[in-house]
Amino acid sequence: ALGTHFDRFVLVGSTALRIDTPDSDLDAVAYTRSIVDEATGVVSAAPSPRDTLREIAGKLAEQDKSLQLQLVDCTRVPVLTVLTVQGELSLDLTVDEPLGEYHVYWFQSLRPLSHAEPAPLHHV
């Protein structure tokens, strides 16, 4: 759906932190980028997150009509929720929203508590 504007795709939230449960949804961020035409030097800006999610929703609807798609684009951070037929799998997708990825990096940087030492009360 994004073509050459696609930069990368990152899992965030409980799945990225490896603390998800069987009922957890997948949280992900798609990152976009601007493109420079080498011949002309013209920059093609990446589409807005709202437009990107609309494009992704359209492509998903074409490819798999059984998916339930809900685009909430009237918020500061637009999100596309994708559900399988029975609701057994759920994906919340945002675009170019780095906060979830920052949270994952922050949690991963914390020193794991040793099992030999008791956890401080604020970690319980």
123 belongs to a structural domain = no
- Inform me whether the pLDDT recorded for 116 exceeds 70: no
112 belongs to a structural domain = no
24 belongs to a structural domain = yes
66 belongs to a structural domain = yes
- C-beta separation of 14 from 20 below 8 A: yes
The 10s digit of each residue's pLDDT in 24-74 is: 999 999 999 999 999 999 999 999 999 999 999 999 999 999 999 999 988
The 10s digit of each residue's pLDDT in 72-110 is: 988 899 999 999 988 889 999 999 999 999 999 998 888
99 belongs to a structural domain = yes
Alpha-helix runs per DSSP H in the chain: 13-16, 49-63, 99-109
**Domain around 68:** 3-107
| CATH number for 37 | 3.30.460.10
118 belongs to a structural domain = no
How many domains, the chain? 1
